[in-house]
Amino acid sequence: SLCAAGEPDLSYRELKELKKANVLHIDVRERWEIDRFGKIPESINIPLGELMEALQMDPTEFKEQYNQKMPSKSDPVVFSCLAGTRSKQAVGFAMSLGFS
């Protein structure tokens, strides 16, 4: 299930369209879930338990850790997980840190 602040539930087709517009897709599932169920192409995995720390990292450290440019607070970001609960929490965490 996929979440974005303006659009709480996205379909896979909507996500594919958003990815064409350089939306950062953060998968907040645990690493074992990625290993078991597979990685979503062009997403980065930041388990929910690491997300608050990751979104407050120095941009250089973020790039080294996740091999991706750190999003700015105004960049479009989509969170996903298995059922939608963690991705909704991720949206809340990001918004509490000032992400729009």
| Pick from 53, 36, 42, 57: nearest CA to 90 | 53
How much is the pLDDT for 60? 97
Instruction: Give the model's pLDDT for residue 83.
Output: 83
Residue 19 has pLDDT above 80, yes or no: no
Fold of 12-97: Oxidized Rhodanese; domain 1 (3.40.250)
The whole-model pTM stands at 0.84
Above 60 in pLDDT, residue 5?
no
Residues 30-89: tens digit of each pLDDT: 999 999 999 988 899 999 999 999 999 999 999 999 999 999 999 988 898 888 889 989
DSSP string, 5-57: SSSSSB-HHHHHHHHHTT-EEEE-S-HHHHHHH-PPTT-EE--HHHHHHHTTS
pLDDT at 94: 94
Looking at residue 72, its pLDDT comes to: 92
Annotation says 3 is catalytic:
no
Of these residues, 18, 24, 81, 90, which one is catalytic? Answer: 81
Domain ranges of the chain: 12-97
